[in-house]
Amino acid sequence: MVTMIIYGPRRREAESFGRLARDLFAWLSEEELQLHCFSTLDTVRTFLEQGGLLDLACVGVTGREEIALLRQIRGRYAQAEMLLVADAGISPMEYLTPTVRAASLLLYPYQEKQREQVLRGFLRSCLQNRLQDAAMEKEYLVIENRAGRTAIPYSQIYYIEVRERKIFIRIRSKEYSKYDSMEHILGQLPDVFVRCHRSFAFNMQHLDRVRLSENMVYLEHGMMVPLSRSYKSAVKECMYGRHTGQGRR
């Protein structure tokens, strides 16, 4: 399901945008569209404060209040795609900024044909991005934090560590972090990732050797992670599967 909001200070125009968006979306995608149309700033702010999902936003920009709204949307929904319908009297320097990151722009006054063309292009691009993201998630661990959105290939991850109530993803020369739990993130990873400690899981593809007497797992390039007693049997089972070609089930 895709969630979209449309805001415009002119109620009939917002509703007209909504009807067109529904028609175009149905033509472009088989996904379900959950659409919310607003004509007052207070109703949009109430929606945002409720903290629901948001994928797409079409926002009419006629003054500084709407520009503040754009920043609020971006602050709460870092990955939402935004189409701006801006008054030609407002300088683009006010809204074409890194704090807004609009994906598309339509300027007042516009013709109906222009509106349909811009909205169609916006929806098509956003839907293509969603398909690419879905394909990426099959081979990448996608993390989002204050630094932005990063896709890390599974094959490049050496180990995962829980530290300071955060998850740390270690590749050969860098570490990424996000707020998450070990249980949740392991549910996203393929079976080559094996938990060896309450706070660690490693990638079998980078395994060098296991020293049971030392309670230590040695990985390529000199990396190592601890092996606790409670996870020794699980690690041994995975190693046996690796050598016999059975793998994990």
pLDDT tens per residue, range 76-120? 888 889 999 999 889 999 999 988 999 999 999 999 999 999 999
Alpha carbon of 218 to those of 191, 203, 211, 223, 232: distances in Å?
19, 11, 8, 6, 14
Burial of 51 (0-12, 13-18, 19+ CB in 10 A): exposed
Q: What pLDDT is attached to residue 249?
A: 37
pLDDT at position 149 over 80: no
Collapsing DSSP to helix, strand or coil, 87 comes out as: strand
Res. 244 pLDDT band, cuts 50 70 90: very low
Half-sphere exposure in the Cβ direction for 167 (13 Å, CA): 20
Q: How much is the CA Rg of the chain, to the nearest whole Å?
A: 24
What does pLDDT average to over the chain?
88
CA dihedral of residues 236, 152, 99, 21 (deg, nearest 10) = -100
Residue with the bigger pLDDT between 248 and 179: it is: 179
pLDDT score of 138: 65
Supply the pTM of this predicted model: 0.58
User: Coil, strand or helix: which one is 24?
Assistant: helix
- Which of these ranges, 37-41, 46-50, 136-140, has the smallest mean pLDDT? 136-140
pLDDT tens track for 41-56: 999 999 998 877 888 9
Yes or no: say if 196 and 202 are a contact pair by the CB < 8 Å rule. yes
Per cent of the chain over pLDDT 70 is 92
pLDDT per position as a tens digit, 49-85? 887 788 899 999 999 999 999 999 998 888 889 999 9
pLDDT at 6: 97
In this structure, the number of other CB atoms found within 10 A of the CB of residue 159 comes to 22
